[in-house]
Amino acid sequence: MLTVSFRRLPHNPELPLPAYATPGAAGLDLCAAVPAHDPLVLAPGDRALIPTGLAMALPSGYEAQIRPRSGLALKYGITVLNSPGTIDCDYRGEVGVVLLNTGKAAFTIARGERIAQMVIAAVTQAQPVEVTDLPETGRGAGGFGSTG
């Protein structure tokens, strides 16, 4: 199992570290570190950067992908705007989640609410090489909708 180090920031002395909800879960749940006395209200069509109160150190060769929680998306229309958001292994700032309310009603984000999930994934870096021709394929340049 991969070990990932997390550091609590001053505005998160008590919220749980990211955790898997079930033994087979792919994503770790992230919680909102908004002030307890000042929940954030996300109006329909609005977006906001939600703090988690955590910074982390991913091992070299890995990234963290921030993805929506399916229950929030289905029930309230809350999604991660830049899904999946990518956190690179050399980033040491606060993990934030850009949420968008695509629903028809305002949505209140309270302190400790599970707002997104984080999937840790291996990264392969590519070496771009310029060529004059590409190998032919049966699909060729067929793009959007070309396969039915």
Q: How confident is the model at residue 27 (pLDDT cuts 50, 70, 90)?
A: very high
Query: What's the whole-number average pLDDT of the chain?
Result: 96
Residues forming beta bridges with residue 26, ordered by sequence position: none
Query: Is residue 115 within 8 Å of residue 99, measured between CB atoms?
Result: yes
Nearest to 42 by CA among 83, 99, 4: 99
> Measured between alpha carbons, how far is 49 from 31 in angstroms, rounded to an integer?
13
Token pair listed for 114 = 């599970």
Residue 4: what pLDDT?
97
Query: Per-residue pLDDT tens for 66-115?
Result: 999 999 999 999 999 999 999 999 999 999 999 999 999 999 999 999 99
What is residue 58's DSSP assignment?
P
Helix (H), strand (E) at residue 57: strand 47-57
- On whether the 5-122 domain is CATH 2.70.40.10, my answer is yes
Residue 144: what pLDDT?
81
Which residue ranges make up each domain of the chain?
A: 5-122
